[in-house]
Structure 1
Amino acid sequence: MTARTRGPARSRQPIGALTPAQQRKIAAVLTPPCGVVDLICDADWIRLEVQHARALTYRVFVYVNGDFRWAWSLAEEHHPEQKYMRRTATPLYGTADLERMRKIFGAKAVNGDPRYKKQFIFFRPDFASGRAALAHLSRVCATIRAPDEDEMRSLREVYRASRASQGPSAPTGDGGALDAHAGAPADCVLVDQA
């Protein structure tokens, strides 16, 4: 009887993924109060940007191809950009409401009726930290990489051209995210791939 041998040791990191050193560097860049990182994920340009959300709170926001649209947040319509966002599901009825309804209508009626199990599904463009955003992107994307300077320059030109062709009244929803950070300090932008 022959013993089975394993093949060569495989790396747990998928092809096209960020190295642990790159992940640590990106997480360090995405710290408050400023931080902007550009990535290429599944052929889409993803911009992770630290923004002030509310009093004493900073969040990492996601922009897909330099833009964010609120239509992407609603689950009623499918958009390919939704995979880069954080999915949240809020039950229509809370636990206390369900207990009160079980007392009124009976447990069998409430537990068996799908109306009481409805959820409001929403895709949020923000994450608590850079590590959380990277963990989500690594789950949903087959390839993640940091673009070089020439590639970023061409992406910015394409984005500006598309915004110019839409006209000044076109709703983008990003508040000019690309233009607002064009002159960001060098320590807030990931510039190399290592």
Structure 2
Amino acid sequence: MESLSISEQKKIAKKIRRNVHNEPISCLLTSLCLYHGLASREIASIRIDHINFEGRCIYFQERPPVYLTTEDLLILEQYVKERAQIKKIDKKNFLIVSLIASSYQDKSVSNLFINKKIKNFTGYTPKKLRITCFCALSAMYGPQFLIEAFGLSLTQASRYGRIGEYIVEEEVYQQRDAL
């Protein structure tokens, strides 16, 4: 699967900025996939206590934290305002809660819910957005960055860039700078 083109990425970025107040949940889900490379299951697992607003990050057990930009915080704040309207929400632990039989449950939403929200909003799957994130970052910083910043395995990171070529290229730059 190939990543999105630059023009497709720009369209999605503009759509996120235009719809922060109207569709904060779709914007939040899309942003977490496109800009931070989160999988649907990782998004579904986010609990309120995983979010550090002052530190501007979201903590995870199986990967490094996600550091939030100013735009991410705005989207998250809009979603939290919308979420606050849900009855008895203060007793719910998950950031995005499930609606079952017209009642919000303290359960994470399904991957299907997240996939549908993102696909309806962008026309693309979360997987496509995640691949786009990793391809762009690998192109800018090399596949080793994906290992260190996202906790990807060497095998996973090599899907988004040629790690051998990157290491050789880095060595050439270091040798050149040493001269």
TM-score range, shorter chain: under 0.3
Q: Which has the higher contact order (CA 8 A, sep 6+)?
A: 1
- Of structures 1 and 2, the larger Rg is shown by 1
**Structure number having the greater helix percentage:** 2
**Structure number having the greater strand percentage:** 1
